[in-house]
Structure 1
Amino acid sequence: MQVTHRNPRGISGHVMVAVLVLTGGLFMFTSLQRQLIYFPEVAPEAVLLDAAGRVGMLPWRSGKDELIGWRSHPAGKGARRLVVFHGNAGYALHRQYFAAGFLAQGDGWEVYLFEYPGYGARPGEPSEAGIKAAAADALAELLAGDPAPLYLVGESLGSGVASYLAGRFRQQIGGVLLVTPFTSLADVAGEHYGMLPVRALLSERFDSVAALGRYSGPVAFLIAGDDEIVPARLGRSLYDSYQGPKWQFEQPGAGHNSLDFDPGASWWREVTAFWRAH
């Protein structure tokens, strides 16, 4: 019988390489995690104002006259106000399809597209704490001007923002739509960086399960069946965990960025009907 003798020094070398690779990965993830989460696109305010005008949107300014997003034209007395929180890439005006979809339903909507700090023409750097604080300020200002309930839409990363706001302003939120949502950002990170202890390292949490646990109103879930960024099972798990009135629609074969947002798609009407029923 032939005996093969392994070189202990060779084994140690492989282990050392693995340790160095893992250590490097840990350092990169810890120091660059926000760059791995947020992909803002910036543009001068004048450029965005021109683009907004071409799609029928107006600037949304705070009480301090700061540009904090975009809004549809006023719909008059009794209008229902809806605020959209976008995903981690691009900027708010890229989500004008949400305004088009809800306005096409003819239910008297006023749609607001909220912009994150560090995105579009808005100064600052994106972070979970900064986005949540800015979004809460915007909602508080809207409610101070008119206490009628607000409706929230959160897309991808924005689903974490909308979930947080639903829990914080729970008595003043009439309904929520979560598009390609997740249970927590840590769970999403675990899907992409499973070899690293991301739950211990991640500073940005966006825990939607915990946030929605503080809300009891109607929540609609729109899930992409073949989502390659936020696996569909995370959206389904969030749906299963929610204890309030809920409605789920899954688009088979849709990827993270290929959902059907055509204003004529039936799900728009189904979402608004679900909200009205509750």
Structure 2
Amino acid sequence: MTSWLKAAAFGVGGIAVAGLATLVAFQERLVYVPVLPGLPRAYPVTPSRFEIDYEDVWLRSSDGVRLHAWFLKHSPPVAGPTILFFQENAGNIGHRLDFVRMMMQRLHCNVFMLSYRGYGASDGHPSQPGITIDAQAALDHLSERGDVDTSRIVVFGRSLGGAVGSVLAFNNPDKVSALILENTFTSILDMTGVMLPFLRFFIGGSASNGPKILNFLVRSPWSTVDVVGKIKQPILFLSGLQDELVPPLHMRLLYEKAAEKNTKCLFVGFPDGMHMDTWYSGGDRYWRTVQLFLEQNVPRMIDGKLSSKDEDEDDGRDCLQRL
């Protein structure tokens, strides 16, 4: 072998070794980013800045970690659903208040926002097992509140939050009435190949090819694609087709997996939507899609009967198909 080929081989090997060392040592910092670079960990704003009626909620997860959350109450009180919102991996719930304020205005709902362990004012350090039981603690709290219609709890997760919400919905078919996923990945295993392409052949989920001999190194696999196919509740998939972080194909694969056995699945793509702004760039169509999905799958009970729509209103299913 010529000297330059040997040098190239050693160079590639060195890069691979360095990449593996980085993955092993810093993977949690890649998956979970509680503090945005250059910003403090504290919430940048609270709901009071937006004149939203809210309650500070303190919870204990099953392993004893102290968690913080906000319960945002629609004013005036309405009979809408309560949405349990799980955020992306970076920043804290204070960075999502613009979105949640719009959600409350357009959907006439209450919203419960949980700070994962290690995020915001919550104690502990983030991990997949830890965040999974954090989400359960939040749902259990909502299920015990007297001011929540427990038959109308909807889980909404974006990106990492979609992975969290999928596990929660699967584990609680009797407590979660519907699931909404936005720009969520098939798995962190698959995302490893997106973030570190030279590892694509060695690390991957069920949506990837290759021997996957290094999967054991990934401590937070969050294999959403293996969970959605088991969920029985209605699922709405909201996909930003210009997503620059999670390839839009991931959302399509999640939908196809879920739809194999679940007939109450809907996929809606937004041509201009990027990872964080799909709700904004999607405009009225985005909110109308969510509203109709909720009307169709989380109907309101009045005197023990499902509420009926106005006679001149289009059937919700037909409207959703046209969106």
Q: What TM-score does the superposition give when structure 1 sets the normalisation length?
A: 0.86
Q: Greater relative contact order: 1 or 2 (C-alpha under 8 angstroms, separation 6 or more)?
A: 1
Change (3 A) 1:254 1:22: same
Q: 1:182 aligns with which of 166, 185, 193?
A: 185
The whole-number CA distance in structure 1 between the counterparts of 2:107 and 2:33 is 34
Count of residue pairs the alignment pairs up: 267
Equivalent position SS for 1:181? coil
Contact 2:67 2:134 in 1 (8 A): no
- The C-alpha deviation readout for 1:82-107, integer Å capped at 9, x for no partner, is 11000011101211234223322354
- The C-alpha deviation readout for 1:28-67, integer Å capped at 9, x for no partner, is 11111011111112534xx66x633112342431356x55
Q: 2:22 aligns with which of 28, 37, 43?
A: 28
Contact 2:93 2:113 in 1 (8 A): yes
Q: Once the 2 structures are TM-superposed, how far is the Cα of residue 263 of structure 1 from its aligned partner?
A: 9.9
Change (3 A) 1:194 1:271: same
- The C-alpha deviation readout for 1:12-35, integer Å capped at 9, x for no partner, is 333223222211111111111011
Give the counterpart letter for 1:61 in structure 2.
V
The match for 1:127 is 127
The reply on whether 1:277 has 2:281 as its aligned counterpart is no
The match for 1:141 is 141
Q: 1:215 aligns with which of 231, 249, 256?
A: 231
Q: Once the 2 structures are TM-superposed, how far is the Cα of residue 77 of structure 1 from its aligned partner?
A: 7.3
The reply on whether 1:60 has 2:56 as its aligned counterpart is yes
Contact 1:101 1:263 in 2 (8 A): no
The match for 1:81 is 82
Which segments of 5 or more consecutive residues in structure 1 lack a partner in the other structure? 1-5
The match for 2:41 is 43
- The C-alpha deviation readout for 1:186-217, integer Å capped at 9, x for no partner, is 11222121211234131111111222223211
The whole-number CA distance in structure 2 between the counterparts of 1:160 and 1:246 is 16
The two structures, once aligned, show a CA RMSD in angstroms of 2.3
- The C-alpha deviation readout for 1:209-247, integer Å capped at 9, x for no partner, is 222223211111111111111000111111111132122
The reply on whether 1:251 has 2:270 as its aligned counterpart is yes
The whole-number CA distance in structure 2 between the counterparts of 1:87 and 1:185 is 13
The reply on whether 1:152 has 2:155 as its aligned counterpart is yes
The whole-number CA distance in structure 2 between the counterparts of 1:128 and 1:238 is 19
Equivalent position SS for 1:124? coil
Contact 1:62 1:138 in 2 (8 A): no
Give the counterpart letter for 2:48 in structure 1.
G
The match for 2:92 is 91
The whole-number CA distance in structure 2 between the counterparts of 1:88 and 1:249 is 23
Give the counterpart letter for 2:203 in structure 1.
V
Q: Once the 2 structures are TM-superposed, how far is the Cα of residue 182 of structure 1 from its aligned partner?
A: 1.6
Contact 2:57 2:71 in 1 (8 A): no
Give the counterpart letter for 1:224 in structure 2.
G
The whole-number CA distance in structure 2 between the counterparts of 1:188 and 1:88 is 13
The match for 1:3 is none
Contact 1:224 1:252 in 2 (8 A): yes
Contact 1:100 1:263 in 2 (8 A): no
The whole-number CA distance in structure 1 between the counterparts of 2:281 and 2:111 is 16
Contact 1:184 1:206 in 2 (8 A): yes
The match for 2:197 is 194
Give the counterpart letter for 2:170 in structure 1.
G
Change (3 A) 1:218 1:142: same
The whole-number CA distance in structure 2 between the counterparts of 1:238 and 1:88 is 19
Q: 2:13 aligns with which of 14, 19, 25?
A: 19
Q: What TM-score does the superposition give when structure 2 sets the normalisation length?
A: 0.75
Equivalent position SS for 2:197? coil
The whole-number CA distance in structure 1 between the counterparts of 2:91 and 2:15 is 32
- The C-alpha deviation readout for 1:150-170, integer Å capped at 9, x for no partner, is 101101111100111110111
Give the counterpart letter for 1:169 in structure 2.
N
Change (3 A) 1:133 1:266: same
